Amino acid sequence: MAYTNLSKKLAVAMVTLAVACAHALAARDLVDAAAMAQRHERWMAKHGRAYADDAEKARRLEVFRDNVAFIESVNAAASQHKFWLEENQFADLTNAEFRATRTGLRPSSSRGNRAPTSFRYANVSAGDLPASVDWRGKGAVNPVKDQGDCGCCWAFSAVAAMEGAVKLSTGKLVSLSEQQLVSCDVKGEDQGCEGGLMDDAFDFIIKNGGLAAESDYPYTASDDKCATAGAGATAATIKGYEDVPANDEEALLKAVANQPVSVAIDGGDRYFQFYKGGVLSGATGCATELDHAITAVGYGVASDGTKYWLMKNSWGTSWGEDGYVRMERGVADKEGVCGLAMMASYPTA
């Protein structure tokens, strides 16, 4: 019958179409898979990465593919959110792996329990502050360091703030030892590569009578035993430290206008993992789960009028803007973008 014939023809046509489509899809997947494998190979060569075996390589390729898809989707909308990402040296790490080894803030309850410290910049008039500040231009910031596979961001943040305070009080910029904090500041909250807190680092430095020079106590990115002989000689010290009143970006501005400041952030997500440039904003979905520490070394206004904080990180210079990240400043949330105004502090020298 005509009807049966027609429906038979239609059915055949649909099957043909479906097969053709499946074929086309499969072919494209194969091309994409080959292209992605090649891209992964090129990335491995660029970053000197080698894997133990083919299984590990296949697993890493999957992670790489997933990260590339994320990076490309964020960059496709870069005009909306003013920052962009890059397939950087962390592109074969899952975010959980990245977070476990590259962050390392251990927010303790101790700060919440103790009385607030004094705040020496309380009476600075916000209206008198410069429109932009960059402590790098004043010689108060050492080159960006790299914490490697060790969750001791807290030590790098504390040391960078201390290096700034020491420069401002003595006129000399010295590079100080994070490793001494990682290895020797282990009797309290701070636990080396397993995390710590800047204020506890400042406490240790004060009790220790200072901190060794980086060159005398070099960084190993591991929980090595505390070395006393030879490495103990202190190169600089601090007198105390103060907390910036919490959840107050204006108070933070007064402090950063006067010296580099240690800052805690919710900064372990994939936006941070792959940040390359621009001004990071709350569009990333970061919140207030403080898990990373960096150092505010200035602030300014981008060409499009976006106000930002200039933050020094400790993930090497190929990450972000030569190792720095700009984060949006003056937002409606009192905690600041990614909680940056929640737990800031600085040493006094």
Ligand X SMILES: *[C@@H]1O[C@H](CO)[C@@H](O)[C@H](O)[C@H]1NC(C)=O
Catalytic residues: 153, 292, 313
**CB-nearer residue toward ligand X: 5 or 123:** 123
Count other C-beta atoms under 10 Å from residue 247's C-beta: 16
CB-nearer residue toward ligand X: 12 or 126: 126
Number of residues near ligand X (by CB under 6 A): 3
Alpha-helical segments (H) within the chain = 2-46, 54-76, 78-81, 95-102, 110-113, 153-170, 178-184, 198-208, 249-256, 270-274
User: Residues 122, 126, 233, 302: which binds ligand X (CB under 6 A)?
Assistant: 122
Stretch that binds ligand X, among 115-123, 191-199, 265-273, 321-329 (CB under 6 A): 115-123
Query: Minimum CB separation from ligand X for residue 47, in Å?
Result: 48
Residue nearer to ligand X on the CB measure, 44 or 255: 255
CA distances from 264 to 148, 291, 343 (A): 19, 7, 6
**Nearest 5°: phi and psi at 189?**
-70, -35
Closest contact distance (angstroms) between CB of 121 and ligand X is: 7
Task: State which residue has the least CB distance to ligand X.
Answer: 123
Do 346 and 260 form a contact (C-beta atoms < 8 A)?
yes
Q: Which residue in 113, 123, 125, 303 binds ligand X (CB under 6 A)? A: 123
Going by C-beta distance under 8 Å and a sequence separation of 6 or more, which residues neighbour residue 112? Answer: none
Shortest Cβ 123–ligand X spacing (Å)? 4
- List of residues 6+ apart from 244 with CB closer than 8 A: 119, 251, 252, 255, 261, 341, 344, 345, 346
User: Which of 30/122 has CB closer to ligand X?
Assistant: 122
Backbone angles phi, psi at 235, to 5 degrees: -100, -20
Q: What does the alpha-carbon distance between residue 328 and residue 326 come to, in Å, rounded to a whole number?
A: 7
Could you say whether residue 76 binds ligand X (CB under 6 A)?
no
Among 39, 49, 120, 136, binds ligand X (CB under 6 A): 120
- Stretch of 40-48, 50-58, 119-127, 307-315 contacting ligand X, by CB under 6 A: 119-127
* Cα gap 29→24, rounded to integer Å: 9
Q: Which amino acid, residue 12?
A: V
Cβ closest to ligand X, residue 63 vs residue 129: 129
* Minimum CB distance to ligand X, residue 245 (Å): 11
Binding residues (CB under 6 A) for ligand X: these are 120, 122-123
